[in-house]
Amino acid sequence: MRILAIESSCDETAAAVIEDGRRICSSVVATQIAEHRKYGGVVPEIASRRHTEAISAVVAQALDEAGLRPGEEDAVAVTYAPGLIGALLVGVNFAKAYAYANGRPLIPVHHLRGHIAANYLAHPELEPPFLCLVVSGGHSHIVEVTDYVTMRIVGRTRDDAAGETFDKAARAMGLPYPGGVALDKLAESGNPNAYRMPRPHVDGSPYDFSFSGLKTFVVNLIHHAEQTGEALPRADIAASFRRAAVDMLAENFLRAARDLGYKRLVMAGGVSANSALRARLQNECCKIGAQMYMPPLALCGDNAAMIGAQAYYEFGAENVAPLDLNAFATLSIDAPNPENRVK
């Protein structure tokens, strides 16, 4: 089964053709990073306009690289939640029109489910059940994946997401957008023990995260130095911050895995590209005899290939949408089918 997939939840306009949920026939991503960099982050209105300008050409290129003409795919999939509502609507409306014009079923895909499914493309042997750490700019979850379409959140952030914390700390340090990537590179040359950073815990919820205290500590540290004229070693701050954030993510994730009895562990989302987090989880899993799966760097960020991978399993579960499908800015990964999603 060949699925044309479309992703436009934030600042990447993407399309891909995926076969049987596991093979990438084509994958095209038009990024807006250069345009948003001058603002220090994504501007929603600009993102929506650029999606509108790019989506037709991106889809055409994905079909061409897969050797298909419009209508030769078996189904159309699209990210419908969560994300920037204006950006989502561009992809959803294009996908609805395309599906209608070509008489193809429309498959709605949750963005975070797509991130998890990126691992199916990289690891053909990976199958549920497993425990997944989903970490991105807007979300930080520990998700129990019992089958391809049944998921349960066992841990989540109570305030800021890990990726958001990285980006805001990087911005306070004067690093360019996207800040998380720049901070990770800078941290490589710093001393992770130079500063004692807070590692907050959530009382009574051992798997939940709280990153706001860590973020505030770094921002206040930098602002105080600026006001007093003190020169701070940015590399040491970056390394100490990264160590604290990685400790929090890894410790809660491994605690949940131990308590729930999982030996098959997965990581997904944009922050899964962080070099220190990848190394820490890989090393810890070797110590406890667990299998650790991570997407390659090319599939960590937003892309349509991951949406096509998850769509294959959603279609198998008869999760097909009518042509009045709507977009949702917020929607839990384990939420029941919304009213516009039918079987």
Tell me the β-bridge partners of 337.
none
- Per-residue pLDDT band for 171 (boundaries 50, 70, 90) equals very high
Residue 281 has pLDDT above 60, yes or no: yes
- The pLDDT assigned to 166 comes to 94
> Domain residues of the chain, as ranges?
2-116+300-316, 128-295
Averaged pLDDT for residues 12-19: 98
2-116+300-316 CATH fold:
Nucleotidyltransferase; domain 5 (3.30.420)
- For the domain bounded by 128-295, which CATH number is listed? 3.30.420.40
Confidence (pTM): 0.95
Residues 6+ apart with CB under 8 A from 335: none
Give me the helices (H) in the chain, please. 33-37, 44-65, 85-102, 111-122, 162-172, 179-187, 212-228, 234-260, 275-288, 305-316
Residue 338 has pLDDT above 70, yes or no: no
Residues 6+ apart with CB under 8 A from 279: none
Structure token digits, residue 214 = 């860590």
- What DSSP element (H or E) covers 77? strand 75-81
CA distance 249 to 293: 16
On average, the pLDDT of the chain sits at 95
- The pLDDT assigned to 40 comes to 86
- The pLDDT assigned to 137 comes to 86
In 10 A of CB 51, how many CB atoms?
29
Domain 128-295 in the same topology as domain 2-116+300-316: yes
In the chain, pLDDT over 70 holds for what percent of residues? 98
Angle, helices 234-260/275-288, rounded to nearest 10 degrees:
40
